[in-house]
A and B are shown apart, each in its own frame.
Chain A
Amino acid sequence: GAVVSQHPSRVICKSGTSVKIECRSLDFQATTMFWYRQFPKKSLMLMATSNEGSKATYEQGVEKDKFLINHASLTLSTLTVTSAHPEDSSFYICSARVTGGMFEKLFFGSGTQLSVL
């Protein structure tokens, strides 16, 4: 199947710093990528939908100025957590959908565990 690479897999940072997470579709082009967040024992919660060449669409309650999303190419989307605080500690995971594909063609990265001290 298609491969989505997410990097880094784990990051520990100090409060107030910014962290960038990359999501790459390695063998297909993805006009749409999705960013999720998962708290322990909770669901994968959609944060935003990233569209290549245009602004991301954020879900209700997600601060767009805090979680900056850039989808500059058909194979790369980045999520930057700005001025991170301990409450931002969570598991972040991206996914990319094959252009024109249904959700069966939704491929996930392996996730990033963010710990903010």
Chain B
Amino acid sequence: DQQVKQNSPSLSVQEGRISILNCDYTNSMFDYFLWYKKYPAEGPTFLISISSIKDKNEDGRFTVFLNKSAKHLSLHIVPSQPGDSAVYFCAASAGNMLTFGGGTRLMVKP
């Protein structure tokens, strides 16, 4: 049973618009959440994170929102750029364990 789910395998957005990537989790022990970005033929790289004591963390064009009661987090990218086209993985940690979602492929069209 997947503890971290990204229900949208792909998302297509126009350049300049907002991209919203969603992630749901089931394990209430998760206390730290991360987003990784993966380009083809490369490994995932860390993008942004949020602790369970916060509900929002912002870094430039990237903002992660956490709704603990709903066990849901989202990554907002605004404005979206063609270079943002990649696969985005949501991950959740409890102690030394890190659990990944299945990824969402974002395509930003010029």
Contact = CB atoms under 8 A, between A and B. Distances in A.
B105 to A, nearest CB: 10
Interface residues of B, number: 23
A61 interface: no
Contacts of B42: 110
Interface in B24-69: 32, 34, 36, 41-46, 49
B21 to A, nearest CB: 15
A43 B2 contact: yes
A87 to B, nearest CB: 19
A41 B102 contact: yes
Nearest to A32: B96
A104 interface: yes
B48 to A, nearest CB: 9
A99 to B, nearest CB: 13
Interface in B64-110: 89, 91, 93, 97-103
A95 B98 CA distance: 12
A103 B41 contact: no
Given A6-B43, A9-B41, A106 B2 contact: no
A46 B3 CA distance: 13
B44 A108 contact: yes
B98 A107 contact: no
A4 B101 contact: no
B16 interface: no
A93 interface: yes
Given A6-B43, A95-B43, A110-B43, A103 B98 contact: yes
Interface of A: 1, 4, 6, 9, 34, 36, 41-46, 93, 95, 102-111
15 contacts: A36-B100, A41-B102, A42-B102, A43-B4, A43-B103, A44-B100, A103-B32, A104-B34, A104-B49, A105-B46, A106-B98, A107-B45, A108-B36, A109-B43, A110-B42
